[in-house]
Amino acid sequence: MGEVFDFDRYKSRKEIRKVSQENVIYEIYLTTVKYVYRYSAVDLTNPVEHLTTDSELRHLFKEDRDRFYYAFSELTKYWGIEIERASAYPQGKEFEVFSTIGDLCVFIEGRTKGL
């Protein structure tokens, strides 16, 4: 005889996975804002209120590539992303590859699939 399919269980699991994925996306955003703010050259009173995915990294770091590198290194360490600086972006092209906070978030999300 065939196996009985428990649709409610399937639906619950699907919803749990969706919520978990949304939480990861939110955590990616929060950690990105945290580290960008930490190394930013711009003074912000409350970074979560002022930094969005459209915030330009070139402006936030005042084109200081070292500040960007420190924030990028902290983010990759936090998320356990093993990467060489040169393979993530060509040296001197940091702000072209990652022009906004959203670009960093997408990069991290792509590297953390399955966590």
Angle made by CA atoms 29, 24, 48, in degrees to the nearest 5: 25
Q: How many domains is the chain built from? A: 1
pLDDT, tens only, 10-35: 555 556 566 566 788 888 999 999 89
The answer, as to whether pTM is greater than 0.85, is no
Is residue 18, in this structure, part of any structural domain at all?
yes
Per-residue pLDDT of 68-113, as tens digits, reads 999 999 999 999 888 776 566 777 888 999 999 999 999 999 988 7
Rounded Cα–Cα distance for residues 80 and 95 (Å): 23
- Token digits for 96? 């072209």
Domain that holds residue 50: 8-111
CATH number of the domain that residue 46 is part of: 1.10.1200
Instruction: Identify the pLDDT of residue 98.
Output: 93
